[in-house]
Amino acid sequence: MEAKIPNPTMRDLAQRLLAYEAAAGQTPDDNTHAVFRVSEKLRRPLITLAGAAGFRALLTRTLALTKAHTPAVAAFEVRPDGSLDGLADYKNDAQAAEAGLQVIAQLLDLLVVFIGDALVLRLVLDVWPDLPPL
């Protein structure tokens, strides 16, 4: 699979998910970046679908594809439990936000390859039932 920029539909969906999570995370107790919350919320059902090792492999592949066209993503790593790490390494919030957007868009795009548009959208709406319609 060659490195490619995620399709515009998945990039738009990733932007919407990150905006939704950024707005939802506006509490004093929650300083977790939206990209980590989106990744964590997707991780749960995908581990059910593919197992922990399968999700870790999917996220590792996502980062490899993303790094090929967005070198700023180099700070991201996949932890052994399948969670993301590395956002603290960014000095610039705009750079961190763009890197996060690229990672989530690539993850969604890779999922489309494996399970198709309809199932990806269903998965997203199961995780975020209050997400405004596309």
Rounded to an integer, what distance in angstroms lies between the CA atom of residue 72 and that of residue 54? 25
Q: pLDDT grade, residue 100 (50/70/90)? A: confident
Give the pLDDT of residue 97.
80
Give the pLDDT of residue 17.
95
How many C-alpha atoms does 77 have within 13 Å on its Cβ side? 8
Give the pLDDT of residue 24.
83
Rounded to an integer, what distance in angstroms lies between the CA atom of residue 18 and that of residue 64? 21
